[in-house]
Amino acid sequence: MPELRKDPVLGRWIIIARERGKRPSDFVIVDSPVAGGFCPLCPGNENTTPHEVLVYGRENNTPNSPGWKVRVVPNKYPALVIEGDLNREGEGLYDKMNGIGAHEVIVESPNHDDIFSQLPVEHMIMIFRAFKVRIKDLEHDDRFRYVLVFKNFGKAAGASLGHSHSQLVALPVLPRKIESELAGALTYYNYKERCVYCDIISQELKQDVRVVCKNEHFITITPFAPRTPFEMWILPIHHSSAYHEQNEEQLASLAEIFSESLCRLDACIPNVPYNFVLHTQPLRSQHMNHFHWHFEIVPKLTSIAGFEWGSGFYINPMPPEEAASYLRESLERLS
């Protein structure tokens, strides 16, 4: 029988439509390769991108030249523009403002064919450091309230170029999803005087059925009410609401667990398209006792159709306990 499950933070219901005996290999990957040709992100083509705002690994002092390992550039054709003042206005009961924001692309490697999950941990640390540095920098711009960091991997997940990259968008408003998460976490905190995510971690460690892996600072779980098969959350074990406050040791630990989690996913379903997104506290917030930053990794394995759009429900054919079990055993099976 299917099971309804409720996300303890958002109150979002999902349906576990358990398909008997469904294994990772039963999922059909409907992804086509991103077309080849000239790549604006490759070394030597720096003149086709806007000027870099951050770079790691280049030994010479010439900006926008080859020799880099990680490079952050503003989006050439951004969804929101950085220049201008916020102009909030109302039109009757409707609110609007001009499209101010920052849209940046983190080029994760100079090698066109590198795959994020297979990058060495030392290299991945630079990417996580770049997220932190850019959030801290954009925090100084008081027009912005939130920085959303995300990655699209695979064409089905929205990647338009094969060259490994992630993106960030600084927004003048709080995204609705983050607002709901903050509100849900605050409601829980007001009732129990504990962080809901700290409680989730504590319970997951105790039950040990949805834990994928952990290290000194982080834990990866398949959440109790996941939207898709193999959805994973990576959370700091000790309470922290601000991603950009992580030190180098924590970033190294994060890179390690991220790499391990994605390798486990890839071992279960090779080349699965996915999105990951960072949820952290809003810019210039004081430390939040009720909120806990984390990454959500959502594989693109199911489609969103009328029922999902209309209800906000998701239908997931694989219970997270089974997904966690496959993920735990995946690397061991390969070795």
Partner 1 sequence: MKKILLVDDEEGIQMLYREELEDGGYEVISAYTGEEGIQKFKEESPDLVILDIQMPGMNGIETLRQMKMENPKLPVILSSAYNEYKQDLGAWASDEYVVKSSNINDLLEAVRKHLS
Catalytic residues: 165
Contact pick of 14, 161, 254, 288 for partner 1 (by CB under 8 A)? 161
**Residue 247 interacting with partner 1 (CB under 8 A):** no
Contact pick of 6, 23, 76, 192 for partner 1 (by CB under 8 A)? 76
Min. distance of Cβ 160 from partner 1 in angstroms? 4
Min. distance of Cβ 133 from partner 1 in angstroms? 22
**Residue 77 interacting with partner 1 (CB under 8 A):** yes
Residue matched to tokens 């309804």:
4
Min. distance of Cβ 80 from partner 1 in angstroms? 11
Own/partner contacts of 309-315, CB < 8 Å, gap of 24 or more, are 312/12, 312/13, 313/12, 313/13, 313/14, 313/15, 314/12, 314/14, 314/15, 314/226, 314/227, 314/228, 315/14, 315/15, 315/17
Question: Tokens standing for 6?
Answer: 């409720």
The span of 44-52, 84-92, 190-198, 286-294 binding partner 1 (CB under 8 A) equals 44-52
Count of residues that bind partner 1 according to CB under 8 A: 18
**What Å distances lie between residue 52 and 36, 104, 136, CA to CA?**
24, 10, 16
DSSP 131-191: HHHHHHHHTT-TT--EEEEEEEESGGGT---SS-EEEEEEESS--HHHHHHHHHHHHHHHH
Contact pick of 20, 38, 83, 91 for partner 1 (by CB under 8 A)? 38
Min. distance of Cβ 111 from partner 1 in angstroms? 17
Q: Residues for the chain: how many in total? A: 335
Taking CB under 8 A as the rule, which mask of x and - marks residues 100-139 in contact with partner 1? -----x----------------------------------
Residues of the shown chain interacting with partner 1 in the complex, contacts defined by CB under 8 A: 35-41, 45, 48-49, 76-79, 105, 160-161, 165
